[in-house]
Amino acid sequence: MRHDRHYVDELSSPSKTPPVRMLRVRDIKMGETADNDLDEPFVESVRRVGIVQPVLVRRRNRGYELIAGAKRLAAAIEADLTELPCRICDVDDREALELAEADDLRGRVAQSQNSEGVASKPSPAPPLLASMLTEVADGLDAALACWRMSTERPDWSYAPTLSRLTHIEMQRVKRLADGLRVLTDPVSVTKTSLDLVSLVRDMSERTEQERRLVDVHLASKTETPVIQVRGNEPLLLLALEGALQALTALVAEIPDKTIRLVLRAERSVATVELSCPTADVSKTLVARFFDQQLHERPGGYGAAVSLSAAKRVVELHDGQASVQSLLPAGCRVTLTIPL
């Protein structure tokens, strides 16, 4: 959902929704913002999956001038990409400088964290638990960086956006930590009577800001107004949020950024279906969808832990979690819980 420090580029421009378009690399003038300090893993990642986070540009003459995202543009050139996603901002020189300062400030915060003992490059092939803890630490670093920027520039027009980003990062960290706890510790499930419809509504509200950050839409359909189940509310919320997070990562980089949610009750089972019918989902990913070890997927370790924890939670409620491929593309995740 972000590519290292550069996710700060998504802050905003004076227009609430600056358009994103695929632009030719050769049409973008890098100017003095060039960043040639590229590491090979970053370039290889760009070569393999492309540019995840749009760079910021503004129109100049018959081309475009780069505002922020020089490292991504340089990596795109190094990886021989011909196009990359760009957010086109209609800004003057002062506003362009503010956006560029945001990127520079975030970079300096990340560098200061490295100088305080955070390794700038991960060690090769870390054990799974160490990688999970690294994911937690990265989320805390991102939240801390946002908080520092908002306190250093309290009068800055982007301070409210930074506060929202801090909240999103803390949500992700908590979800990852709770998922690890479910997967590693004995869990005692205290069940109470719950309305699954209300629980799904709460899940949608809690994840709305996170989905809006990557323009993912959740289309919900409930076939029964009230569905009573016996379960543990925090654990079921964790399972629902985890499954939704993993599918959000699947659709975040495709044109149709829509996840369809269907909630129904039939016979003695409540069913929650989450589907993304236009995503490119390989047979390998479907076969190992709930595998905690499979971190080479959209969403990385976070998605792997979230899905594994969701499956574990559903099984603790005597239910089942499954996934199936859809034709011609996409997949559907189904969570069933006894009524």
Helices (H), the chain: 40-49, 70-78, 93-115, 128-152, 159-184, 196-206, 208-213, 233-251, 283-287, 300-316
**Structure token pair of residue 260:** 């369809």
Average pLDDT, the chain: 77
Q: Go through the chain and tell me how many residues it has.
A: 339
Q: pLDDT per residue over 190-210, tens digit each?
A: 889 999 999 999 999 888 888
The reply to whether omega before 328 is within 30° of 0 (cis) is yes
Distance between CA atoms of 57 and 198, rounded to whole angstroms? 42
Position 129 confidence tier, pLDDT thresholds 50, 70, 90 = low
Q: Does the structure show a pLDDT above 70 at 184?
A: yes
Cα–Cα distance list, 313 to 188, 239, 307 (Å): 11, 6, 10
Query: Helix or strand or coil: residue 270?
Result: strand
Torsion over CA of 57, 58, 60 and 65, rounded to 10 degrees?
-20
| Most confident by average pLDDT, 129-133, 297-301, 328-332 | 328-332
- Residue 138 has a pLDDT of 61
In terms of pLDDT, which residue wins out, 120 or 21?
Answer: 21
- Distance between CA 80 and CA 35 in Å, rounded? 16
Residue 317's pLDDT is what? 92
Q: Which domains does the chain have, with CATH numbers?
A: 1-121 (3.90.1530.30), 192-338 (3.30.565.10)
Section 80-102 average pLDDT? 82
**Buried residues in 173-209 as b, exposed as e (16+ CB within 10 A):** bebbbbbbebbeeeeeeeeeebebbebbebbbeebee
Contact 274, 242 (CB under 8 A): no
pLDDT tens per residue across span 272-320:
999 998 888 888 888 999 988 887 888 888 888 889 999 999 999 999 9
pLDDT tens-digit readout, 38-64: 777 788 878 877 887 788 888 888 789
Give the whole-angstrom CA distance, residue 176 versus residue 195.
Answer: 25
